[in-house]
């Protein structure tokens, strides 16, 4: 399975880059990440409940503008339109089933060893299943901090990301309003070991009376830069009796996961 196939033109007029093909949209911190590059085995439940396991993306166009650094040390604006749907928020199968996204990013250097990043993202599209023609909107605000001491970044670093999401999904009698968040921390303990943790909360966009909390802790062992082994424990505390794609009760659960990921052959540096 191929996640993305696209062409990208760089350094166009107006400090613009242009992308065309099949890709994951720039939305928040983790939507662009491929599964093997996530800081935990899975995506935060709020992203899965809003966009499904595949994330937000599809076939379309995306532009990126590098903005003049007025307040931040660097700022950029991403705008995209893709043809893609999911049962959670943008469940359209009509010719108008496009999803429009935008993201504004501010980057701040705090010191030679640390930086701060703030992202504001939004998505809008149609929602016409099972019947009708309505709109759905999802917005997010996120903050990230990274510390990597100069000269010792191979052995020590700390990454923290937190993102809040708010969704509005129209239906015949009004609109559903849902919310959620996740907070993730990833601490490098040495040249080969990482310790990670995550907490999150999410309401279902088509029924915000149903919700869940998720708690995760993980230990990563990098045998080399190409081979990762991860041990992860996760607890999902659910108040969900019926999902669109999973009929019937959806109980709370505990899981323990062993993940092995490796790369073979040339592998270009990822944009994220």
Domains of the chain plus CATH, in order, are 5-262 (2.40.160.10)
DSSP 46: H
CA distance 245 to 10: 40
pLDDT, residue 199, reads 98
pLDDT tens per residue, the chain (272 residues)? 677 899 999 999 989 999 999 999 999 999 999 888 899 999 999 999 999 888 899 899 999 999 988 788 999 999 999 987 777 888 766 666 789 999 999 999 999 999 999 999 999 998 876 666 789 999 999 999 999 999 998 899 999 999 999 999 998 888 999 999 999 999 999 999 999 999 999 999 999 999 999 999 999 999 988 899 999 999 999 999 988 877 888 899 999 999 999 887 665 555 54
Q: What pLDDT, on the 0 to 100 scale, is given for residue 181?
A: 98
Q: What's the pLDDT at 153? A: 87
The predicted pLDDT at position 189 comes to: 93
- Of the candidates 7, 22, 102, 16, which has an alpha carbon nearest to the alpha carbon of residue 60? 22
Q: What is the pTM (predicted TM-score) of this model? A: 0.90
Helix (H, G, I), strand (E, B) or coil at 32: coil
Signed CA dihedral, 36, 103, 216, 48: sign only? negative
Nearest one of 94, 166, 164, 163 to 125, comparing CA atoms: 94
Continuous segment of H or E residues that includes residue 47: helix 45-51
pLDDT given for residue 4 in this prediction: 87
- Catalogue the E-assigned strands of the chain: 5-12, 16-24, 57-67, 74-83, 98-111, 114-127, 134-147, 157-171, 174-188, 193-204, 207-224, 227-239, 253-262
Other beta carbons within 10 angstroms of residue 62's beta carbon come to 23
User: DSSP assignment, residue 49?
Assistant: H
Contact status, residue 129 vs residue 91, Cβ threshold 8 Å: yes
Q: Residues 6 or more apart from 162 whose CB is under 8 A from it? A: 142, 143, 144, 181, 182, 183, 184
Cβ–Cβ under 8 Å, residues 174 and 167: no
pLDDT computed for residue 202 by the predictor: 97
Closest-CA residue to 91 (of 51, 57, 123, 59): 51
């Amino acid at each position: 399975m191929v996640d993305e196939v696209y062409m990208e033109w760089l350094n166009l007029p107006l400090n613009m880059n242009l992308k065309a093909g099949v890709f994951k949209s720039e939305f928040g911190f983790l939507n662009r990440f491929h599964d093997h590059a996530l800081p935990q085995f899975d995506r935060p439940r709020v992203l899965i409940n809003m966009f499904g396991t595949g994330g937000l993306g599809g076939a379309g166009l995306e532009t990126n503008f590098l903005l003049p650094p007025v307040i931040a040390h660097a700022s950029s604006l991403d705008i995209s339109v893709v043809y893609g749907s999911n049962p959670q928020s943008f469940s359209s199968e009509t010719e108008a089933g496009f999803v429009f996204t935008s993201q504004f990013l501010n980057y701040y250097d705090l010191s030679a060893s640390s930086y701060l990043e703030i992202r504001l993202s939004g998505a809008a599209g149609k929602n016409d299943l099972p019947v009708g023609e309505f709109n759905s909107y999802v917005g997010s605000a996120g903050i990230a901090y990274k510390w990597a001491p100069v000269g010792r970044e191979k052995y020590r670093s700390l990454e923290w990301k937190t993102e809040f999401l708010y969704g509005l999904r129209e239906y015949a009698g009004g609109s559903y309003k849902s919310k959620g968040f996740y907070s993730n921390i990833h601490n490098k303990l040495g040249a080969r070991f990482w310790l990670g943790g995550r907490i999150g909360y999410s309401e279902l966009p088509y029924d915000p009376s149903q919700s869940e909390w998720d708690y995760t802790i993980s230990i990563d062992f990098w045998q080399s830069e190409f081979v990762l082994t991860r041990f992860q424990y996760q607890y999902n505390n659910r108040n969900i009796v019926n999902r669109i794609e999973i009929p019937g009760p959806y109980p709370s659960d505990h899981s323990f996961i062993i993940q092995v990921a490796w790369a073979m052959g040339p592998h270009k540096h990822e944009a994220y």
